[in-house]
Amino acid sequence: MSIQQPTLNHADLADRVRSLASAGLEEVIGFRRHMHMYPELSFQEEKTGQFIASLLTRWGIPHTTGWGGHGVVATLSGSGPGPTVALRADIDALPIHEVDGRDYGSRVAGVMHACGHDVHMASLLGALRILMATRDSWQGTVRAIFQPAEESHPGGASLLIQEGVLEDPRPVSIFGQHVLPTLAVGKVGFREGVFMASADELYLTIEGRGGHGAMPHLTRDPIAITATLISALQQLVSRHANPISPSVLTFGRIWSDGGATNIIPDRVHVEGTFRALDETWRAEAHQMLTDMCQGIVGSMGGRCDLEIRKGYPVLVNDPDTTRKARGWACDYLGEDRVEDLEIRMGAEDFAWYSQVMPACFFRLGTGNAEKGITSGLHTPAFDVDEQSLEIGSGLMAWMAIRQLMEENA
């Protein structure tokens, strides 16, 4: 038996949501600025969680705390029974020192919301305000997940899933958004299917036998071995990966123990990342990395210890859910403000949700060249055009409402 829907049609309801998003913009900007000024690193988001919980308490929205450490999960019911849809925002910051001169800049030395998580939180809080004001027009439940530790392996999403955040009852789908400074404010972007890469951390120690730089024949030079190894490992991608399935192998840090210009060290340390868009190839590459490290280093008289810290999986946007979400965004914003995005080799722990249920992860345009807001993610000068929060909050609410309406039809 279908549940009777209110007589308010989609166009009128979209107008109502847009009006509420506009009216609530200044409040949402205030949320964003507060959280931007007081950022906290992964697994340390105690005050951030308390701030979110205090707002939910003030608004009378049931919620629980302590998810994954400091996460908060809110539950908002509509005017009648129905399915559940989940909305997710991440809450942690990065160890980056923000540029000076902003009155809303970080007040925590060396910590900054340089990835837009303050926008994500503020948007979800704004969406809850809109959903509260429109709950007479939808049935079911919205589960708002304020998730900790997106920036640190294994990712807060995996912990929350283990703790049961997607159960009792299980949502029919989950939506998440992420700022995109290369996309102009006023626009959003979507991609069906494979969207973002897996991300694994690599830690290598190459051991040789050190000695005097003038007598290399008496050593097993780990620097020379490392140089050969790194060059050879690049063939993992160039000669072993399927060219139509992108993957990336990058080494970002190399150092040796002790040392001077005339000293060959005993060991060299290397750190890097491996990313892929196919889980089968990812597993194969892990084995090949291990075999190549042992074989090449061993053949040169050294020893190699490789640790692969398996991180986030491939993020796959459910095609049907994403296709519908894109259509809802067109209805809400107009087709000219909705773009199709390319695959990205960046990684996101939202991927954990996408591996276990229908998920849609989309991008919110936050850039504005005329205002000089062009800096990239994870940089000290990163900022957003705060007008994006009007879309960020309104569209999240609209997607939840439309998903519930479709499930109840």
Helices first, then strands: H and E counts in the chain: 11, 16
The pLDDT of residue 6 is 47
CATH label of the domain that carries residue 140: 3.40.630.10
Same domain, 23 and 60: yes
Predicted TM-score (pTM) of the model is 0.94
In this structure, the strands spanning 247-256 and 267-276 are: antiparallel
Q: How many domains does the chain have?
A: 2
DSSP string covering 87-107: EEEE---BS-PPPS--TT---
Strand 338-340 with 247-256, pairing: unpaired
5 domain residue, yes or no: no
**Single residue among 282, 309, 336 that ends a domain in this structure:** 309
Do both 242 and 177 map to the same domain? no
Using CA atoms, how far apart are residues 12 and 241, in angstroms rounded to an integer? 51
Q: Are residues 70 and 159 in the same domain?
A: yes
Any domain includes 3: no
CA angle 62, 88, 320 (to 5 degrees): 120
Distance separating alpha carbons of residues 92 and 10, to the nearest angstrom:
35
Q: Does one domain contain both 318 and 304?
A: no
CA distance 178 to 180: 6
pLDDT at 5: 45
Which candidate, 219, 184, 221, places its Cα nearest to that of 336? Answer: 184
Catalytic residue among 40, 118, 150, 207: 150
CA distance 23 to 59: 17
Give catalytic status of residue 150 as yes or no: yes
Q: How far apart are CA 58 and CA 65, in angstroms?
A: 15
- 42 and 103 co-located in one domain: yes
Report yes or no: 393 and 24 within 8 Å, Cβ to Cβ.
Answer: yes
**Dihedral angle sign, alpha carbons of residues 228, 231, 233, 236:** negative
Among the three residues 274, 309, 344, which one is the final residue of a domain in this structure?
309
Does one domain contain both 303 and 248? Answer: yes
Which residues partner with 339 through β-bridges? 189
Do 224 and 108 lie in one domain? The reply is: no
Structural domain including 149 reads 10-197+314-408
Identify whether the C-beta of residue 300 lies closer than 8 Å to the C-beta of residue 228: yes
Does any domain span residue 1? Answer: no
Q: What is the DSSP letter of 237?
A: I
Residues 63 and 181 in one domain: yes
Q: Which of 200, 201, 204, 176 is nearest to 190 (CA)?
A: 176
Strands 338-340 and 188-190 turn out to be: parallel
Task: Strands of 197-333 (E only): list them.
Answer: 200-207, 211-212, 247-256, 263-264, 267-276, 303-309, 315-317
Q: Do 235 and 256 share a structural domain?
A: yes
Assess if residue 239 is contained within a domain.
Answer: yes
Looking up residue 227, the CATH number of its domain turns out to be: 3.30.70.360
C-alpha torsion sign, points 88, 91, 93, 98? positive
Catalytic residue among 92, 98, 151, 385: 92
Beta bridge partners of 276: 247
For residues 303 and 322, state if they share a domain. Answer: no
Strand partners, 211: 264
- CA 121 from centroid of its chain's CA atoms: 13
* N residues, the chain: 409
Do 292 and 209 have their domain in common?
Answer: yes
- pLDDT averaged over 10-residue windows placed end to end, the chain, 409 residues: 54 96 98 98 98 98 98 97 98 98 97 98 98 97 98 94 97 98 98 98 97 96 97 96 95 92 96 97 97 97 97 97 98 98 96 98 98 97 98 98 93
Boundary (domain end) residue, out of 293, 309, 325: 309
Per-residue pLDDT at 8: 62
Distances (CA, A) of 347 to 220, 313, 372: 37, 8, 26
